[in-house]
A and B are shown apart, each in its own frame.
Chain A
Amino acid sequence: MPNATLKQLSLQLAQKKISSTELTQFHLDRIARLNPGLNAFVTVDAARSLAQARAADAQIAAGKAQPLTGIPVAHKDIFCAKGWLTTCGSKILANFVSPYDAHVVERLNAAGAVILGRTNMDEFAMGSSSETCFWGPVRNPWDRTRVPGGSSGGSAAAVAARMAPAAIGTDTGGSIRQPSALSGICGLKPTYGVVSRYGMIAFASSLDQGGPMAKSAEDLALMLNVMAGFDARDSTSLERPVEDYTRLLDASPAGDRAQPLGGLRIGVPKEYFGAGLDSDVGAAVEAALAQFEKLGAKRVAISLPNSALSVPAYYVIAPAEASSNLSRFDGVRYGYRAPDYTDLADMYRKSRAQGFGAEVKRRILIGTYVLSHGYYDAYYLKAQKIRRLIAQDYVQAYGQCDLIMGPTSPSVAFGLGAKASDPVQMYLNDIYTVSANLAGLPAMSIPCGFGEGNMPVGLHLVGNYFAEANMLNAAHRYQLATDWHLRQPAGVE
């Protein structure tokens, strides 16, 4: 049961082989046993989860089951959920019980999924290791002395350790894909605007996207079907015809049976395989590309010439937007208020100084500086121009290929504390992932092998705008021919 896919679980529920109550209790028991050693979950409320499970069982009995009805899903602690503690990994929201549901939470609830618990994360989603969480670091189930990646590290660890069959996370610069790669699971960031950001605590509004994390591309597609869609309450939500993201998965492949990806052109950026990429990661990714060729795809050498500028541009734009978004945390309407202060301004300054962690403060300071008088043009506007150059590189590239692939992360999971002393070292982890956020393109990571210390390696896929179904299909065909995505860490039996 712990290794069952969402599709398999849905079938078992429909056939009454298990009930949602049993399935939810099964995972709650695993959380009770495994979470103390991993710190993936911040909040668990068994009574609430089981109440939802019972309601799901009633839906199933009445013949009203949908694909995710009765399935327990872990939620990153960044999605507001009514009546649930919603901390965003921060002391400043450590007491915040959300009075409303995020759009994505509403959609999952309406689909009959069960909220399994709230997962740990880098504070305000700022991080690539899940070490800046107010609730302590999350540990990688493959090696508990290492990080699971971030910022959706709790969600990644929950799925990797089979404490949850699926989870939801958010991705601003790689925060779904990188922890998926480091923790050996699958994660997807949709095209910007496809998943509503209403109720998703904002980090960088032009970059943030919510998305699914699970054990297979097929599971990601099932989740995306529920999560995606127009929401009038998010002013950046896109009005588009409803899509079934699973529609290509069962279909006869475009190529012949032996070469299901015949005709697919995979662009491999030459900039991604130079200095900075660990050789073990490079080797696993090369092997994956060879496997795609066996499935009929053709490799095309491409160039994304402005790749190297993506991290500097991101670390101007994201902190700038964050400094604006986090200005709402002032101790007035919700969250932490300092116990002692002299006047209103002092209350703001002390509440924020005491409530925010060091990394969040650093990013707010950077953001405030680059937006301030005299520097806006030189930094923020400049970075937005670089952003256009990066997006144009992709437009060029998609003239020659259909999907772009490379490594998700330059290395396998590193040790806890290994990159704590130099923020820039941590930022360089994002080198392969941030461009997709800057351009607004859909991207995903799937397991493709192992590297140093027997740690998982992730393959990164980037699609053209709105090409999620094609991207998921390519990943799915790869997963039908390989079993990297079925591996699980030792010690979680």
Chain B
Amino acid sequence: MSLSLQEVKQVAWLARIEITEVEAEAAQGQLNGIFKLIEQMLSVDTEGVEPMAHGQDLVQRLRDDRVTETDQHALYQSVAPQVEDGLYLVPKVIE
């Protein structure tokens, strides 16, 4: 399995990372090298094996549906690039 240059650019698009033509070519070589490593596992027989997401197969712990957090938006927004009136400012999204 190896990526074409177009596929590299498509993945970069999905990941919202800008990539130049030169960078895409360099990335293509490195990514295909990594895919060679990954490919080693593809031919292994995993028929009937359940995927494992957690060491002890635990399920998500739930809690009561009660309000427990306090409003700290002033503190949390103190590190934001641009805020106004409690809102994060970003470039206008044009419909």
Contacts and interface: CB of A to CB of B under 8 A. Distances in A.
A348 to B, nearest CB: 4
A261 to B, nearest CB: 26
B16 A381 contact: no
Interface string B8-39: 10011011111100000001001101111111
Contacts of B16: 327, 330, 345, 348-349, 352
A309 B41 contact: yes
Contacts of A423: 30, 33-34
Contacts of A414: none
B82 to A, nearest CB: 8
A368 B31 contact: no
A388 B55 contact: no
Contacts of B46: 382, 385-386, 389
B37 A332 contact: no
A277 interface: no
A427 B31 CA distance: 13
B67 interface: no
Nearest to B83: A333
B11 A365 contact: yes
B88 A333 contact: yes
Given A381-B51, A385-B51, A465-B55, A334 B33 contact: no
A366 B17 CA distance: 13
Interface stretch (A106-114, A212-220, A356-364): A356-364
Contact of B42 (A333, A353, A382): A382
Contacts of B66: none
Interface of A: 96-99, 191-193, 206, 232, 235-236, 238-239, 306, 308-309, 311-313, 315-316, 323, 327, 330-335, 337, 341-350, 352-353, 356, 361-362, 364-366, 368-370, 372, 378-379, 381-389, 391, 422-424, 427, 439-441, 465
A361 B14 CA distance: 12
B15 A323 contact: yes
A193 B57 CA distance: 12
Given A362-B27, A386-B41, A206 B94 contact: no
Nearest to B72: A99
Interface SS of A by simple majority: helix
B38 A353 contact: no
B31 A349 contact: no
Contact of B37 (A312, A327, A345): A312
Nearest to B82: A337
Contacts of A96: 79
Given A99-B78, A312-B40, A344 B91 contact: yes
Contact of A97 (B27, B39, B56, B79): B79
A478 to B, nearest CB: 26
B52 A388 contact: yes
Contacts of B30: 362, 423
A38 B61 CA distance: 43
6 contacts: A311-B37, A312-B37, A313-B41, A353-B19, A382-B42, A423-B33
A356 B33 CA distance: 21
Residue in B8, B52, B60 whose Cβ sees the most chain A Cβ within 10 Å: B52
B34 A352 contact: no
Given A349-B16, A349-B18, A440-B55, A385 B27 contact: no
B55 to A, nearest CB: 2
Residue in B53, B55, B88 whose Cβ sees the most chain A Cβ within 10 Å: B55
B38 A315 contact: yes
B51 A384 contact: yes
